[in-house]
Amino acid sequence: MDSKKTYIYVIIIAVLANFLAAYTSNTVVMALPQIAYELKLSNIMQNWIVTIYLITIAVLSVPLGKIASKKGFKRSFIFGSIIFFLGAIGTVLASNIPTLFFFRIFQAIGASFTFVCALSMIVSAVPPNKRGAAIGINIASGHIGISLAPVLGGFLTYNFGWRSIFIITFPISILIILFTIFKVKDEWTLGEDDKIDTIGGIVYALGITTFIYGFTTLNQLKGLIFTTIGIIILLLFIIFEIKSETPIFDISLYKNKIFTLSNIAYLFSYIGVFAVTTIMNYHFQYIRSWNPDITGLILLATPLTQSIITPYSGRLSDRVNPQKLCSFGMFIVTISLIILVSVNSKTDLWIIVFALAMEGLGYGLFLSPNTNSIMSSIPRENTGMGSAAVTTIRMIGQTLSIGLLSLVFAIVMGNVLISPKVYPELAKSCQITLIIGVVLTIISLIASLISMKINNKNSLKLSLN
């Protein structure tokens, strides 16, 4: 098959899948108050509707990245898309919280495959000189999904109920599956003869799950115990993987300073920023008592700006030091969070929209160059692992961000139904989380600056040689 047609088709399906996964992950935020009301959920439990989806992807991305490399990225992508579709159907039919959680997990399993395989197929099929632009387009599609999530999710939830936000994904899922089967003829496999490290995968999954669960309940003794156990298990996983002949994740990749620092910047940026949408959604729907459709339009400011900036920053990262863009972008994000910390019920709307747009601008400058930096810093044979690392770091960051919000809720508010009498505590919880977010984005900025300095030194050495 013509290589140009192949990578164009790959970009198309990756864009559609990334859009759908991003939309599904973020649109549920708009429906949380309605779901909580219908199923009578507490403030902490309703956050778990988001968290359980993210934690599943975080747990599975590394082992599924290895499996996809062995079985084939296209084949695994199709399988994941089908699982995602079936999970969406189950979510629509759910009538209680255990069933809803089950199918959110099922849907996340499918999303894990599509996230890992989409990026891996782009890196495998697209020429290196066009890779940054392709990654930028792929990430931008996610931001378009995030952009439409609050608007479309708010409109659908307000007018047709929360189940409608999942029903609308059905035709797109079917289109992705059919397009991949009939248009993408090539297959990409890496390490077909390698054994799959089942024990390593189980240890990793157990460690991540235990750690994240413990983190969200750190205000209790059991939270401290689970967090400690999770850290110990993850340390054992690292030792096991170093000694393994066929590791599920090649720990030696982290000897690459650019790879490591870019992942650190990625992780702390997501922990610091991801909960902002949920925080501002609570601010508008609870504290200001605005409808979800109006709230969705306001929250559009961040992802819309991101979706405009990201493709350009991706292309630019092919020509200049990507860490420069990352550093500048994260500086802008930090300033935007500082502005949001001061928001209260009397703050002018334009100030909030301005800060949200600033966040989108900064993150748009950060994400594509950072992803390009990660994927370009590793050998081709580690593409699957690199893609899995990007997906895992993103999902762990997002999970810990919502987990941080839940933890602050538990400490400040307790485990209660959200009502007007606890609005002052709700506002205080959101403000504290944003302050912590500022600290975390500063750490991300520092990691990007150090990475930029190392990259400059490496470039200087190459030019002298």
8 Å CB contact between 345 and 290:
no
Copy the structure tokens of residue 178: 């059919």
69 and 111 share one domain: yes
Give me the pLDDT at residue 285, please.
86
Same domain, yes or no, for 360 and 336?
yes
Give the model's pLDDT for residue 339.
96
Residue 252's closest CA among 121, 119, 389? Answer: 389
Give the pair of three-digit tokens for residue 37: 């009301």
Please check whether residues 237 and 106 belong to one and the same domain. no
Q: How much is the pLDDT for 102?
A: 92
Q: Do 256 and 326 lie in a common domain?
A: yes
- Taking residue 72's Cβ as centre, other Cβ atoms within 10 Å add up to 19
Instruction: Give residues with Cβ within 8 angstroms of 418, minimum separation 6.
Output: 33, 36, 43, 282, 286, 426
SS (H, E, C) 313-358: HHHHCCCCCHHHHHHHHHHHHHHHHHHHHCCCCCCCHHHHHHHHHH
Q: Quick one: average pLDDT of 33-49?
A: 81
Alpha-carbon torsion angle 417, 223, 398, 26, nearest 10: -20
Give yes or no for residue 253 having a pLDDT over 50. yes
Q: Are residues 213 and 83 in the same domain?
A: no
In a domain, 192, yes or no: no
Residues 138 and 220 reside in one and the same domain: no
pLDDT at 190: 67
Please give the average per-residue pLDDT across 397-424, as a whole number.
Answer: 83
Same domain, 86 and 221: no
Q: Which of 228, 247, 266 is the last residue of a domain?
A: 247
Has residue 137 got a pLDDT over 90? Answer: no
Band the pLDDT of 173: cuts 50, 70, 90. very high
- Judgement on whether residues 242 and 267 belong to the same structural domain of the protein: no
| pTM summary value | 0.74
Question: Residue 126, Cβ neighbours under 10 Å: how many?
Answer: 24
Given this model, what pLDDT does residue 1 score?
47
Look up the domain containing 216 and give its range.
197-247
Query: Which stretch, 201-210, 284-293, 442-451, has highest mean pLDDT?
Result: 442-451
Instruction: Say which DSSP state 422 is in.
Output: G
Per the domain annotation, does 452 fall within a domain? yes
Q: Is the pLDDT of residue 91 over 70?
A: yes
How large a percentage of the chain has pLDDT more than 70?
Answer: 93
Task: Establish if 315 belongs to a structural domain.
Answer: yes
The domain total for the chain is 2
- Please give the Cα distance from 142 to 136 (Å, whole number): 10
Q: 180 and 225: one domain? A: no
CA angle at residue 209 from 205 to 213, to 5 degrees?
175
Q: Which of 81-95, 162-176, 272-286, 374-388 has the lowest mean pLDDT?
A: 374-388
User: Mean pLDDT across the stretch 174-185?
Assistant: 87
Q: Is the pLDDT of residue 205 over 60?
A: yes
> Within a domain: residue 83?
yes
| Chain segment 307-345, per-residue pLDDT in tens | 788 778 877 777 777 788 889 999 999 999 999 999 988
Q: Using the 3D structure, point to which of 214, 230, 247 is the last residue of a domain.
A: 247
Nearest to 295 by CA among 152, 142, 140, 146: 152
Structure token pair of residue 424: 């002052």
Residue 97 burial (CB count, 10 A):
17
Task: Confirm whether 329 is domain-assigned.
Answer: yes
Q: What is the pLDDT of residue 2?
A: 54
User: Lowest-pLDDT range, 114-128, 379-393, 421-435?
Assistant: 379-393
Q: What CATH number is associated with residue 427?
A: 1.20.1250.20
Q: Is residue 265 part of a domain?
A: yes
Average pLDDT over residues 430-441: 95
321: left (phi over 0), alpha (psi -120 to 50) or beta: beta
| 241/286 same-domain check | no
How much is the pLDDT for 422? 85
Flag whether pLDDT at 250 surpasses 70. Answer: yes
- Give residues with Cβ within 8 angstroms of 357, minimum separation 6: 301, 302, 305
Averaged pLDDT of the chain: 84
Q: Is there a single domain that holds both residue 238 and residue 344? A: no
- Residue 80 or residue 250, greater confidence: 80
- For residues 222 and 261, membership in a common domain is answered with no
Q: Which residues contact 319 (CB under 8 A, 6 or more apart)?
A: none
- Of 29-43, 83-97, 357-371, least confident by mean pLDDT is 29-43
Would 191 be classed as within a structural domain? no
